[in-house]
């Protein structure tokens, strides 16, 4: 099943580009009065940057740095249906059923479940199937029972079925000695809450608690049922295994923006329950020629229902390189640089844990500050405070050979403050008018469909909706290695949009996979169009290609993508190039990661 990658990580790809070539004009306005400021802002919007190459700001780069590549869920194991036992031997006519010992359901409910066996001549195997049907009716609601057939005389056509409703006896943890990093006390609290000793044993509740225990950092948990000491009791045997305390990865890719250097080094470090509390600490960093990014996060379990609370913080600094670092027209260095910081808190609650389905609700609040400047001084100093709620779920099914489904819906409410640089605020008020409160909704839906042991189909769609024009750091983007792969990172950004991927994946070997794919997306530049928002307001990008991934057992994962655009770029610059100043056909994405 797909790992929960649900702490607002799948909230959509929000990027975008500011109107280009505004910096020199912006600082010329500082000494002007109100009337001249309005005039110059209007001129800037009317003439700004048709030929110039758009460049990203700190907010956009931060959003792209926070993006995580999707992880494919494991496919369900294919189980052959059990062959029915042949109905041989002596048969007896059954007219009625007498059910004894049942307290969870009334007699009418259980009799209804047995209707197909009534007024029929049944073999011994079919008599046992009738008892199993009663037990299965209990199991549908999660209850653990035994339904047995006592010795009896069937000449009157009445079949007695005795129901033994299980009660939980003891919770046994093995092995007896565990490392101090294993949160065994937390595991026991989860089990005790779901299945109190002496209470009727509900397998759904026990499975929910075991799944929560297995999600704790530092431990791998499994449970089996064994016979209890007292009649009618069932004991739970918990098997705990320590997970590695330290895990992480290092890698290199060319997935970053050209304006800050596409080649990038990545590193991740995770500490799993070092104090034995089920806590987790994570550090993530990336380094390119023009960008530095660090993110720290920590989570801690609270209570005995599987809730976790956490805190995050991140820092990014960038400077533009190459032709993006030169002023349009003059060719002189523009000194464009900036930084971003975030702090946030979050909590995640498990809504359900079933054998083939999971659900979570996450809440998060984040405060973000981004600054951008050139040789002439600050161009923006933004503050964004946002609160989000994410509902995430996954489901494994047996449809058409089996598949794994995932979905996430995120609602974000936030406020943008541009007032620290008056010119930036004035420019915004005369154009996008993004200052103030905004609402954004992001949706992700995916399915991995099994065809056979070597072939699968992958389908995913991401979408964003907004109630107004958004700041660049909140926009949705089509291009890049996680979007329409035939186009560069940050290409095709707007307030609203959607992006679809369909691919066929074939395993050449257990560790070698080839994929053919088609990517399609559409973006709406501005929720409310304005002079300077760009034309066309709505447009589509698509591409197709092939990727190869090799993941040997020694921890390495190598991936290469070759993507070709199928149509032109409706939002290309006047010289026909994409927004990053290139027009690579095909476009190649490479990555190499070592996990430990």
Are residues 186 and 154 both part of a single domain? no
How many domains are there within the chain? 3
pTM, two decimal places = 0.84
Say how many C-beta atoms besides its own lie within 10 A of residue 14's C-beta: 27
* Residue 444 placed within a domain: yes
Phi, psi of 343 (to 5 degrees): -135, 145
Whether residues 146 and 196 fall in one domain: no
Of 242, 272, 305, which one is at a domain's C-terminal end? 242
- Residue 62 in any domain: the answer is no
Same domain, 390 and 472: yes
**What integer pLDDT is reported at residue 71 of this predicted model?**
60
Are 264 and 211 contacting, i.e. CB atoms less than 8 angstroms apart?
no
* CB 521, CB 492: distance < 8 Å: yes
207 and 331 share one domain: no
CATH number for the domain that contains residue 524: 2.40.160.50
In this structure, the strands spanning 167-174 and 233-242 are parallel
DSSP H or E stretch at residue 194: helix 184-194
In a domain, 82, yes or no: no
Residues 450 and 470 in one domain: yes
The Cα 254–Cα 260 span in angstroms is 11
Do 189 and 281 fall within a single domain? no
Any domain includes 85: no
Given 116, 131, 162, which residue is the final one in a domain? 162
Indicate whether 547 and 465 sit together in one domain.
yes
Q: Are 193 and 306 in contact (CB under 8 A)?
A: no
HEC profile for 285-334? EEEECCEEEEEEEEEEEECCCCEEEEEEEEEEEEECCHHHHECCCCCCEC
Q: Where in 243-289 does DSSP place strands (E)?
A: 246-253, 264-272, 280-288
CA distances 585 to 383, 503, 567, 582, Å, are 38, 20, 11, 10
Q: In the prediction, which pLDDT does 464 show?
A: 99
Q: What is the pLDDT along the chain (596 residues), one digit of tens a residue?
A: 434 444 444 444 444 333 333 333 333 333 333 443 443 344 334 333 334 566 678 888 888 877 766 665 665 555 545 555 555 568 899 999 999 999 999 999 999 999 999 999 999 999 999 999 999 999 999 999 999 999 988 889 999 999 999 999 998 999 988 899 999 999 999 999 988 888 999 999 999 999 999 999 999 999 899 888 888 899 999 999 999 999 999 999 999 999 999 999 999 999 999 999 999 999 999 999 999 999 999 999 999 999 999 999 999 999 999 999 999 888 899 999 999 999 999 999 999 998 899 999 999 999 999 999 999 999 999 999 999 999 999 999 999 999 999 999 999 999 999 999 999 999 999 999 999 999 999 999 999 999 999 999 999 999 999 999 999 999 999 999 999 999 999 999 999 999 999 999 999 999 999 999 999 999 999 999 999 898 899 999 999 999 999 999 889 999 999 999 999 999 999 999 999 999 999 999 999 999 99
Question: Which domain-ending residue is among 102, 128, 162?
Answer: 162
* 314 and 181 in a common domain: no
Integer Cα distance of 301 and 348 in angstroms: 10
Q: Does some domain include residue 2?
A: no
State whether 224 and 254 are in the same domain. no
- Has residue 534 been placed in a domain? yes
At residue 436, the pLDDT reads 98
79 falls within a domain: no
The pLDDT value recorded for residue 195 is 86
| Domain that includes residue 225, residue range | 167-242
Whether residues 157 and 264 fall in one domain: no
What is d(CA 459, CA 18) in angstroms, rounded to the nearest whole number?
32
Residues 6+ apart with CB under 8 A from 450: 75, 76, 78, 400, 401, 402, 403, 456
Answer for the pair 402, 450: CB distance below 8 angstroms, yes or no: yes
Identify the sign of the CA torsion 246, 252, 255, 261: positive
Q: Are residues 100 and 177 in the same domain?
A: no
Identify which of 536, 527, 423 has the alpha carbon closest to the alpha carbon of residue 475: 527
Residue 48 falls within a domain, yes or no?
yes
Q: Are residues 279 and 148 in the same domain?
A: no
Nearest Cα to Cα of residue 143 among 200, 193, 92: 200
Cα 259 to Cα 263: distance, rounded to the nearest angstrom: 11
Looking up residue 204, the CATH number of its domain turns out to be 3.10.20.310
């Amino acid at each position: 099943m797909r790992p929960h990658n649900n702490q607002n990580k799948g909230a959509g790809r929000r990027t975008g580009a500011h109107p280009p070539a505004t910096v020199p004009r912006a600082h010329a306005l500082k000494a002007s009065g109100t009337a001249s400021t309005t005039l110059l802002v209007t001129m800037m919007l009317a003439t700004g940057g048709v030929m110039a190459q758009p460049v990203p700001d700190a907010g956009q780069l931060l959003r792209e740095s926070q993006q995580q590549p999707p992880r494919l869920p494991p496919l369900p194991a294919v189980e052959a249906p059990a062959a029915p036992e042949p109905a041989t031997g002596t048969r007896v006519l059954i007219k009625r059923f007498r059910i004894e010992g049942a307290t969870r359901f009334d007699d009418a409910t259980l009799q209804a479940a047995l209707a197909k066996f009534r007024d029929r001549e049944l073999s011994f195997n079919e008599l046992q199937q009738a008892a199993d049907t009663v037990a299965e009716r209990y199991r549908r609601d999660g209850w653990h029972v035994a339904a047995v057939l006592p010795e009896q005389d069937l000449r009157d056509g009445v079949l007695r079925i005795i129901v033994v409703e299980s009660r939980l006896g003891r919770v046994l943890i093995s092995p007896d000695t565990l490392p101090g990093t294993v949160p065994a006390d937390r595991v026991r609290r989860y089990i005790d809450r779901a299945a109190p000793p002496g209470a009727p044993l509900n397998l759904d509740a026990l499975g929910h608690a075991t799944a929560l225990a297995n999600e704790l950092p530092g431990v791998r948990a499994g449970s089996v049922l064994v016979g209890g000491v007292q009649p009618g009791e069932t004991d739970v045997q918990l098997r705990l295994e320590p997970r590695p305390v330290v895990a992480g990865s290092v890698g290199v890719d060319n997935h970053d923006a050209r304006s800050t250097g596409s080649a990038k080094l990545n590193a991740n470090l995770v500490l799993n329950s070092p104090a034995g509390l089920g806590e987790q600490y994570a550090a993530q960093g990336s380094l390119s020629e023009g960008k530095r990014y660090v993110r720290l996060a920590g989570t801690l379990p609270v209570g005995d229902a599987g809730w976790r609370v956490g805190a995050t913080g991140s820092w990014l600094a960038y400077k533009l390189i190459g032709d993006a670092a030169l002023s349009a027209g003059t060719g002189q260095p523009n000194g464009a640089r900036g930084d971003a910081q975030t702090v946030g808190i979050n909590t995640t609650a498990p809504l359900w844990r079933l054998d083939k389905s999971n659900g979570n609700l996450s809440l998060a609040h984040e405060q973000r500050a981004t600054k951008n400047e050139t040789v002439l001084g600050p161009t923006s100093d933004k503050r964004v405070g946002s609160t989000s709620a994410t509902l995430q779920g996954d489901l494994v099914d047996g449809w058409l050979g089996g598949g794994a489904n995932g979905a996430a819906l995120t609602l974000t409410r936030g406020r943008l403050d541009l007032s620290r640089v008056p010119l930036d605020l004035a420019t915004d008020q005369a154009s996008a008018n993004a200052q103030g409160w905004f609402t954004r909704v992001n949706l992700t839906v995916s399915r991995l469909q099994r065809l056979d042991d070597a072939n699968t189909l992958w389908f995913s769609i991401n979408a964003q909706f907004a109630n107004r024009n958004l700041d660049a750091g909140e926009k949705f983007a089509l291009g890049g290695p996680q979007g329409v792969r035939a186009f560069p990172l940050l290409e095709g950004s707007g307030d609203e949009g959607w992006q679809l991927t369909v691919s066929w994946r074939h395993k050449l070997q257990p560790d070698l996979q080839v994929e053919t794919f088609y990517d399609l997306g559409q973006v709406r530049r501005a929720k409310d169009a304005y002079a300077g928002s760009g034309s066309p307001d709505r447009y589509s990008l698509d591409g197709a290609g092939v990727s190869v991934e090799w993941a040997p057992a020694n921890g390495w994962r190598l991936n290469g993508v070759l993507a070709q655009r199928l149509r032109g770029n409706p939002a290309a610059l006047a010289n026909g190039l994409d927004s990053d100043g290139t027009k690579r056909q095909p476009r190649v994405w490479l990555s190499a990661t070592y996990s430990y």
